[in-house]
Amino acid sequence: MKKIILFAITALLLTSCGSKSDVVSGTKKSAWKKFNYPQINFVNKADGTNGWEVYNRIIPNPDEYIQKNILEVVQTLYWSSADSIPNIQKINYTIEDVDGISAKGGGVPEISIFYSSRWVEKSVKGGGDDKVLFETRGVLLHELTHGYQLEPQGVGNYGSNKTFWAFIEGMADAVRAHNGGFPMTNRKPGGNWMDGYQTTGFFLQWLTTKDADFLRKFNKSTLEVIPWSFDGAIKHVLGKEYSIDGLWNEYQSFLTSNKKS
């Protein structure tokens, strides 16, 4: 019985974090009818590898698959296709027999994303086709976010400024987390909101409990808070009574008490 209840709670948590209706909350389907999908230039450079064989078998139509994930990303970051969305016209997506996982390069109007066939091989060994599908979608949501997210202004760039970097990598994992792209067991107490990736990402995703549109507003804050800062953006989006330190502490308490229950 305990097991059944635990399963039900886990299922409930998973749905509340990653359900499709949640993603589209605050936006209407009709708001996306005019969205300009980029052209997908899919190139397999890993012919003959087991990773490519697996990828090709479980994702037989990669163009359609990538477009579907693009819609999830832009719906998480924006209200409608009329918003100020980076106008990406072409995505060069390659499967490559190299180390690493995935990365995005280039900028508007043309970006490139590579995905490692060796990572697919590791995933299939670790958990079969289900694991490959889960990983591939999660990694894709992260990289596509880099293509479609807005960027902080007045604080340097990705290579020169930690705030800029933490925003970029934190938001990419926040979008991934918000769409059910991580196991929720990855969300753990500790670290700092400037650590980027999942540490920042799960925190930003949790802030949607304060405002369902938080991720959209936080993304948009880069156009309105100049020079951009985490604390400035938090105050701009949620109100002057909030601070990044205060919310981080509240989030840590939530995670710690969550763990005990």
Residues that bind Zn ion (CB under 5 A): 169, 172
Q: Which residues contact 136 (CB under 8 A, 6 or more apart)?
A: 55, 59, 115, 120, 123
Give the separation between CA 140 and CA 208, rounded to whole angstroms. Answer: 22
Which tokens belong to 82?
């009329």
- Cross-strand partners of 44: 95
Q: Rounded to an integer, what distance in angstroms lies between the CA atom of residue 253 and that of residue 33? A: 41
Cβ nearer to Zn ion, comparing 174 with 247: 174
Residue nearer to Zn ion on the CB measure, 27 or 145: 145
Minimal distance in Å, beta carbon 137 to Zn ion?
A: 15
Q: How near is the Cβ of 163 to Zn ion at its closest, in Å?
A: 16
Provide the minimum distance between the beta carbon of 197 and Zn ion in the complex, in angstroms, as a whole number: 8
Q: CB 177 → Zn ion: shortest distance, Å? A: 13
Residue 30 neighbours by CB under 8 Å, 6+ apart: none
Round to whole Å and give the CA distance between 7 and 232: 40
- Kindly tell me which of 75 and 198 has the beta carbon lying closer to Zn ion: 198
Q: Find the shortest distance in angstroms from Cβ 220 to Zn ion.
A: 20
Cβ atoms of 89 and 39 within 8 Å: the answer is: yes
Report the residue number, 54 or 140, with the smaller CB distance to Zn ion. 140
* Distance between CA atoms of residues 90 and 171, nearest Å: 22
Query: In angstroms, what is the minimal distance from the CB of 83 to Zn ion?
Result: 22
CB closer to Zn ion out of 95 and 172: 172
Please, which residue, 121 or 169, has the CB nearer to Zn ion? 169
Per-residue exposure over 202-216, b if at least 16 CB sit within 10 Å of its own CB, e if not: bbbbbbbeeeeebbb
